[in-house]
Amino acid sequence: MSAIVSYRDLDAWQAAMDLLLEAYAVAHRLPPIERFALADQMRRAAVSVPSNIAEGQASGPGGRYRHHVRIALGSLGELDTLCEAVRRLAYLSDESLRVLTKHLERTGRLVHGLDRALRRRQLTVSCLVVCALLCTAASLIS
């Protein structure tokens, strides 16, 4: 396992970029009436996922990183909902959306995994801080 130097090294970011490309392809196939509504919103949600992962990772360790990952998760939910709208409006068939759905699932798993890892890191740091404070307090009392 190599070190994470940049957001480009994250599997979640790479999967999100693949998702973005597929979402653009699907948006392009929507009827012209949806060019400036549903298609535009799909593109915006798709761009938001890797962008927020990148911004979070670039901000360094800590709460801001996880905050941006949570925003990316929200954008995944939005894109999934838009996909469902496309399906229910019968603009595209299930088969036409199959690849996008697979990308949504894979990216979702990876971004959720990144979020869990960041949460565990936050908890570990919080526990270390509490332990250090307790040790300091104990040494002052004795």
What is the model's pLDDT at position 132?
55
**49: containing domain:** 7-116
Confidence category of residue 57, pLDDT binned at 50, 70, 90: very high
d(CA 128, CA 52): 28
Total domain count, the chain: 1
Confidence category of residue 124, pLDDT binned at 50, 70, 90: low
Confidence category of residue 60, pLDDT binned at 50, 70, 90: confident
Is residue 84 a part of any domain in this protein?
yes
Tell me the whole-structure pTM to 2 decimals: 0.83
**CATH, residue 94:** 1.20.1440.60
What is the model's pLDDT at position 3?
75
Residue 95, burial from CB neighbour count under 10 angstroms (0-12, 13-18, 19+): exposed
What is the model's pLDDT at position 137?
60
Is residue 128 a part of any domain in this protein?
no
Q: How many residues does the chain have?
A: 142
What is the model's pLDDT at position 4?
72
- The rounded Cα 24 to chain-centroid distance in angstroms is 17
Is residue 30 a part of any domain in this protein?
yes
Is residue 88 a part of any domain in this protein?
yes
Is residue 73 a part of any domain in this protein?
yes
Is residue 135 a part of any domain in this protein?
no
What is the model's pLDDT at position 5?
78
Residue 14, burial from CB neighbour count under 10 angstroms (0-12, 13-18, 19+): middle
Residue 80, burial from CB neighbour count under 10 angstroms (0-12, 13-18, 19+): middle
Each residue's pLDDT tens digit, 75-102? 999 999 999 999 999 999 999 999 999 9
Question: How far from 71 is each of 51, 62, 83, 93, 133, CA to CA, in Å?
Answer: 10, 15, 18, 29, 32
Q: Provide the mean pLDDT of the chain.
A: 89
Is residue 130 a part of any domain in this protein?
no
Each residue's pLDDT tens digit, 10-21? 999 999 999 999
Is residue 126 a part of any domain in this protein?
no
